[in-house]
Amino acid sequence: MISVIDYGMGNLQSVSNALNYLDIPFMITNNKEEIKKSKAILIPGVGAFYDAMKNMRDMGLDKLIKKESTKKPILGICLGMQILFEKGEEVKEIEGLGLIEGTVKKMEVDYKVPHIGWNNIKINNKSDILKDIDEDYVYFVHSYYAETLVEVVDAYCEYGINIPAIVSKGNIYGMQFHPEKSGVVGMRLLKNFWEVVK
């Protein structure tokens, strides 16, 4: 069972639809006991880093997720990926969950921001989550990106700069794009995460 964290910032319906389609057992929850009992944690997210972390702290979920990260796989999607990092600069600077080294910064590029639409990913490290995935197209919606260590970047996309698209560190995974909106490729990635969990 995967706990899909409800902290007031997630696109829960589209994530739920994708997990149902893949027959992956999950529950949408912010109940601490349910989260502790689950085999994995999925953090969705739409909105601003500052608001996300404020909600996490107010609900006491930040400390719980940090503790659970030593025991089970975690996947962050879009904003959910960004808050895995040490800090973010959106709205005003605030500490993230600190599970992966790096800072989430505003994209300063010559292209249109926010970065919205399909973009192909390029493989940097072939981790478990990239099983049967090549340089395929996935769907992005974001204005901020993670400035992080190259060794945690499993895949990136080019949009004026190299944007980390998939990151991992041990059992912690993140996807800057929306796998639930990325067709067959996105479904494959979610299935790969479930394979890691099982």
Catalytically annotated residue among 68, 115, 157, 178 = 178
Q: Residue 185: enclosing H or E segment and its boundaries?
A: helix 183-197
Tell me, yes or no, if 78 is annotated catalytic: yes
Answer for the pair 128, 170: CB distance below 8 angstroms, yes or no.
Answer: no
- Whole-angstrom CA distances from 80 to 44, 51, 86, 110, 174 are 5, 12, 13, 26, 8
| Residue 157 appears among annotated catalytic residues | no
Helix axes 49-58, 61-68, angle to 10 degrees: 90
- Determine which one of 68, 78, 142, 157 is catalytic: 78
Query: Which one from 68, 142, 157, 180 is the annotated catalytic residue?
Result: 180
With H, G, I as helix, E, B as strand and everything else as coil, classify residue 197: helix
Q: How long is the chain?
A: 198
Cα separation, 14 vs 17, whole angstroms? 5
Farthest-apart Cα atoms in the chain, separation: 46
Cα separation, 194 vs 198, in Å, equals 6
115 is catalytic: no
Catalytic residues: 78, 178, 180
